[in-house]
Amino acid sequence: MHIFTGLNRLNMAKEIKFSLVYRDMWQSSGKYVPRVDQLVEVAPAIIDMGCFDRVETNGGAFEQVNLLFGENPNIAVRKWTAPFNKAGIQTHMLERGLNALRMNPVPADVRELMFKVKCKQGTNIARSFCGLNDPRNLRLSVEYAKKGGMISQVALSITNSPVHTVEYYMGVVDQVVAFGADEICLKDMAGIGRPTFLAELTKEIKTNYPHIKVQYHGHTGPGFSPASMLEVARAGADYLDVAVEPLSWGKVHPDVITIREMLKADGFLVKDINMDAYMEVRRLTQKFIDDFLGYWINPSNAKMTSLLVGCGLPGGMMGSMMADLKGFQNAINAAERAHGRPEISLDTLMVKLFDEVCYVWPRLGYPPLVTPFSQYVKNTALMNLMNTLNGKPRWTTIDEDTWGMILGKMGKLPGPLAPEIVQLAKEKGLEFYTGNPQDEYPDELPKFRQMMKEEGWDEGEDQEELFEFAMHERQYRDYKSGVAKERFNAELADLKAKAGAPIVVKRPVVEMPNVDIEEYTRKFPDAIPFQAGSKGKVLWQIDVDDDSSAPATGSPVKAGEPVCYLETHYGIEEVPAAKDARIVAVFAHQGDKVEKGQILGLIQ
């Protein structure tokens, strides 16, 4: 009887297909993805593995990364997708709905051109998501993708909260299917979707829309994803996103070998893996890490952690978050000492931050913790933690982008705002926005077309250069001028010199160039740094153009009062002193551009 059941099950087996998320593997691990020559080198081995029906080739930050290299992203996409197109393997990209391929909203005409360009470049499927799951931000993505000749796949940003129910997500599915979406992706970006919930949602989608393909994308950070993959497969999913060593597991994605064996044992039909080709992909990926990409991969990304279950933050944020905490640790411990309290270890500080995220998140309306909203929630929690440890109230520091989310300028929040946040907005004289977010961003292609004409730049094949300029103006200008390549090469040389050429190094605290921080710390062993909390321009005094405003060493500072200021893209930000002290070293001039975490000086 047992044997008969097994044979019957195999006869009725459903095939599960795999997609290799080669782009996201890298960008969930570090800052950069391989150069175009490296991508072209690894493509034949990926094809020879024989187990992939799809490969994620571009999208997300892919274009910006190429520009930061000083490379043309349009050439990269065409060369990278070409071998997969020839082999009959579908390629897919990731785009952020209203934000398209960047972190801030994009005009509709630029969004429309994106889909036309990417289809011409060889990308077959557009995976579109809105971090708030607002269908209004997804409608144009669906319409433009199909008009441009692409398959439209809408991704639901999956999270675990009281408001994110099956009914909630099906409400989104109903609307995007009505828009014309061809497929649905369950984008479990933090890997905290509960397996049984994901199965229930998959089954509901398949029951209501049998023709809709369902693809599951889940990160491994908190450990649920293999169980989730099995459950969604049993519920009717068609595709699963997987990775390969040495960039699988950890906070990235499950490895294809394990997932294939798990599904095969459960009776599903799965393609065989050419293990010689797998080992070649593995070897080449490690080669790229050894070459230069490993310098930007935080070792913590290779580890899974159950701590992510509670806070729900994406695992890919852990590296930058720990760097933020290290930057704040000295200032926080100075405040602890000043109040007669024991110093706080980095691990304790991390748990405090996770607890604060759990406090902040529901009060900000449960935005799914995915780019850019995960950054907004984390930054607010970090500033709350800093302020409360210094005796200030929560919500003292909320940046402009976070206010944009709160006020509805980026879409409708899934849950209600806490009364204290609504009251704070009223006290600041801020108005809530209920209109369509896209309406706030008028078309811009004519402006960029004119600027290209003035620069003498060609719009490119299929207007791809016009698109790139309009999508990433600043990075594109740096690419065209050669500044981007020079800056990248200098950054890489500096990291190699500091690291003594290890393969993977921890993200360093950013220091001022040509400043020997260790020399100062030996001279002033009790000194603590004051650092830039954001990327911006240093202002020792506001509305002063020269360096005469920089304080002299020995100048007194008071705890909680600004030592200097940063002019950021969202306004002026104070850099406070952690305690009553005197300035013993200054490392930045008036008007210097600095990075987040950069040491600006020392106080003692």
With bands split at pLDDT 50, 70 and 90, how would you rate the model's confidence at 99?
Answer: very high
Question: Is residue 155 assigned to a domain?
Answer: no
Residues 415, 314, single domain; the answer is yes
pLDDT tens digits along 301-326: 888 989 888 878 776 666 566 666 77
With bands split at pLDDT 50, 70 and 90, how would you rate the model's confidence at 510?
Answer: very low
In the sheet that holds 536-539, the strands lie side by side as 571-576, 562-568, 536-539, 593-594
Q: Is the pLDDT of residue 507 over 60?
A: no
- Tokens of residue 184, six digits: 């649905």
**∠ CA 98-440-405 to the nearest 5 degrees?**
60
Residues 432, 524, single domain; the answer is no
Question: Is residue 182 assigned to a domain?
Answer: no
Question: Is residue 594 assigned to a domain?
Answer: yes
Q: Residue 9: what pLDDT?
A: 44
For the segment 357-375, the average pLDDT, to the nearest whole number, is: 91
Q: Residue 569: what pLDDT?
A: 61
**∠ CA 354-386-372 to the nearest 5 degrees?**
55
**Domain that residue 384 falls in:** 308-439
**CATH value at residue 562:** 2.40.50.100
For the segment 567-588, the average pLDDT, to the nearest whole number, is: 78
Q: Is the pLDDT of residue 432 over 70?
A: yes
Residues 522, 426, single domain; the answer is no
pLDDT tens digits along 29-44: 888 999 999 999 999 9
Place of tokens 């600004």: 562
Spatial separation of the C-alpha atoms in residues 384 and 397, rounded to whole Å: 7
Question: Is residue 526 assigned to a domain?
Answer: yes
Long-range pairs of 44-48 with CB within 8 A, sequence gap ≥ 24: 44/83, 45/277, 45/280, 45/281, 45/284, 46/20, 46/22, 46/84, 46/277, 46/281, 47/83, 47/84, 47/87, 47/89, 48/274, 48/276, 48/277, 48/280
- Contacts (Cβ under 8 Å, ≥6 apart) of 443: 107, 108, 109, 110
Residues 315, 409, single domain; the answer is yes
For the segment 530-547, the average pLDDT, to the nearest whole number, is: 72
Question: Is residue 149 assigned to a domain?
Answer: no
pLDDT tens digits along 522-532: 677 777 888 88
Q: Is the pLDDT of residue 489 over 80?
A: yes
Give the end of a domain, one of 417, 439, 461.
Answer: 439
- Contacts (Cβ under 8 Å, ≥6 apart) of 463: 113, 116, 117
Give the end of a domain, one of 439, 462, 495.
Answer: 439
Question: Is residue 270 assigned to a domain?
Answer: no
Q: Residue 4: what pLDDT?
A: 31
Q: Residue 571: what pLDDT?
A: 59
Rg, C-alpha atoms of the chain: 25
Q: Is the pLDDT of residue 119 over 90?
A: yes
Q: Residue 419: what pLDDT?
A: 96
Q: Is the pLDDT of residue 166 over 60?
A: yes
Residues 410, 525, single domain; the answer is no
Spatial separation of the C-alpha atoms in residues 447 and 45, rounded to whole Å: 43
Residues 523, 434, single domain; the answer is no
Q: Which residue has the higher pLDDT, 528 or 342?
A: 342
Give Cα 207 distance to the centre of its chain: 32
- Contacts (Cβ under 8 Å, ≥6 apart) of 297: 29, 30, 289, 319, 504
Spatial separation of the C-alpha atoms in residues 40 and 45, rounded to whole Å: 10
Give the end of a domain, one of 439, 465, 481.
Answer: 439
Q: Is the pLDDT of residue 438 over 80?
A: yes
Most confident of 6-15, 17-26, 512-521: 17-26
For the segment 427-455, the average pLDDT, to the nearest whole number, is: 96
Q: Residue 293: what pLDDT?
A: 95
Question: Is residue 72 assigned to a domain?
Answer: no
Number of domains in the chain: 2
Question: Is residue 521 assigned to a domain?
Answer: yes
Quick one: three-class SS letters along 127-148? EEECCCCCHHHHHHHHHHHHHC
Q: Residue 521: what pLDDT?
A: 59
pLDDT tens digits along 51-91: 999 999 999 889 999 999 999 999 999 999 999 999 999 99
Global pTM exceeds 0.85: no
Q: Which residue has the higher pLDDT, 151 or 501?
A: 151
